[in-house]
Amino acid sequence: MASDSPSAIIIGAGPGGIALAYRLRHELGFDDFVVNIEDTVDKFDLRRHVITSVECTGAEWLAEDNKWAVRFHDLQTGLDFVRYASILVSAVGAISLPREIKFKGMERFKGPIVHTARWDHSVDYAGKRIAVIGNGCSAAQVVPALAEKAAFVQQYARSAQWYHPRPNHVFTRAEKFAFRWLPLWQRWLRLQIFMKAENESDTYFPTPDGVRARLEAEKESREYIQSMTPEKYWPFIVPNFPLGCKRRIFDPGYLGSLHKSTVVLRNEGIQEFTEKGIIGASGKEDQFDIIVLATGFQVSQFLAPMEIKGKRGISLNQQWEESRGAQAYFGTYVHNFPNMAIIFGPNTFPANNSALFACETQVVYAVKSLFIPILDRRTRTVEVKHSAEEKHTNNIHSQLQRTVFAGDCSNWYIGKYGRNAASWPAKAARFWLATYFPDWSAFSWSGGSVLWPVYAVRRWVAVHVRLWKGLVAVGVVYAGIVRRDSGGTVGGLLDAVKVGFAGLREKVALLF
């Protein structure tokens, strides 16, 4: 703990954690970090930084040392240990902890009770009578899967959902060839998909064009639902709330499974569990062998169940209780918690676009506003000001009131205090633009070195040495092409071009 060299601990090795690890290693030349997608990790040489089978139980800010003391539990040995770092990043995501609802009499049921977020693969579902509680995205995936083997599946659903056909494009061999050998082709397709999703996001906002687009999308969804669903379910399977008030579902075969004689959809909630089954809100009791809870995730409880203590000595969740819900400056920084960033934090969920894009945008923002100032020794601590966080949060919730997220429906965006702590109230591109240039007036800095320009230049040189190595590698490839061409064989030239594109593709992936 005596070292003054900056270090970092990243909690979580999903898309957010891996994206940050890539930026640190390949753009900042920073190697003193650990990460707590197999191919991505190996491709960018990140595996040395990943520690698996270890969970973070909590962390505490040590003001005298300007470091985080992070507590871990080794799941294999059972040992607890502490690691110290200048910077702490939570990349645990928001869709991991199950939203566990306690129904009356649950303890009386004699069979297995399984949550979709904690799936029990040891349970044999074949030939069994199964109840599914819930009708969100999880239920839409699990019902058709269970219907393939179960003797009977009955789903309890209190409300409707907007369903759409899945836009799963089947790529041709020519497209796959282009992905492999044309360096920017994948990025061009990604941009097209991104822009299409951005245009569809208009349906979430109260502009004249947005209202027209939403009504058209609702019409298309209604027609799709009715074309795919038995008519007996129409009265309660078609929503009566605005499209987007709940998360839209791209149908994974759920509506088609409702045609099976072994699948029943019940439009009611749960009164209580019994030893052998469930009594629905209507008072009717049915017997089941297995009960599946498709009740979603604890989306509004970020970083739970870890106990993260900041400057005041209270936990992050305690502070959020005081503010009546989770909040963070651009979903990333929380006052009283210096040198800490949250990836995919409060109010960062895009309306109708990629969650991965939101994570990647936050990663770039954290690199610019937290990592670079500390790595360059311009400061030892970075903390968002309380006033900046409050102003940002109030602005977010003011904008959300004008979107479909404030519609008359029950959704998982809303926390127990009635605040939407999940959604970003605008398009994804606006989130990218708002975070591209950090507003330094929103932060408090302390410490640092008068020699910080020297550290900054040293970091810049180290990073750009990698760039020059990449350019030299491309030059070597070009020389190889010329040399093979001088032999006069077309086959040799094609082989060289193939090798050249392979090398260039890897270098471009790093540079961009």
Decide: 394 and 419 in contact? Cβ < 8 Å. no
Q: How are beta strands 381-384 and 443-446 bridged, if at all?
A: antiparallel
Closest CA to 386 of 348, 336, 421, 345: 336
pLDDT digits (tens, 9 = 90+) for 137-175: 999 999 999 999 999 999 999 999 999 999 888 999 999
Q: How are beta strands 307-309 and 54-62 bridged, if at all?
A: parallel
Residues 238 and 219: their CA atoms lie apart, in Å, by 11
Provide the 3-class DSSP secondary structure of residue 316. helix
Q: Could you tell me the residue ranges of all domains in the chain?
A: 8-95+299-446, 106-293, 452-511
- Sign, CA torsion 473/475/478/480: negative
Residues 149 and 506: their CA atoms lie apart, in Å, by 44
What pLDDT is stored for residue 333 in this prediction? 98
Residues 378 and 448: their CA atoms lie apart, in Å, by 5
In this prediction, the residues of the chain whose per-residue pLDDT falls under 50 are 477-478, 481-482, 485-512
Name the CATH superfamily housing domain 8-95+299-446: FAD/NAD(P)-binding domain (3.50.50.60)
Answer whether the bond into residue 305 is a cis peptide, omega within 30°. Answer: yes
Instruction: Please state, in angstroms and as integers, the Cα–Cα distance from residue 286 to each residue in 154, 171, 275, 277, following that order.
Output: 9, 45, 11, 6
Decide: 86 and 7 in contact? Cβ < 8 Å. yes
Instruction: State how far Cα 460 lies from the chain centre.
Output: 31
What pLDDT is stored for residue 411 in this prediction? 76
Residues 290 and 270: their CA atoms lie apart, in Å, by 15
Residues 6 and 373: their CA atoms lie apart, in Å, by 11
| Topology (CATH) of 106-293 | FAD/NAD(P)-binding domain (3.50.50)
Task: Provide the terminal-to-terminal Cα distance of the chain, rounded to the nearest Å.
Answer: 35
Cα angle at 184 between 182 and 187, to 5 degrees? 130
Domains 8-95+299-446 and 106-293 share a fold: yes
In this structure, what DSSP letter does residue 325 have?
S
What pLDDT is stored for residue 463 in this prediction? 74
Residues 229 and 443: their CA atoms lie apart, in Å, by 54
What radius of gyration, in Å, describes the C-alpha atoms of the chain?
Answer: 26
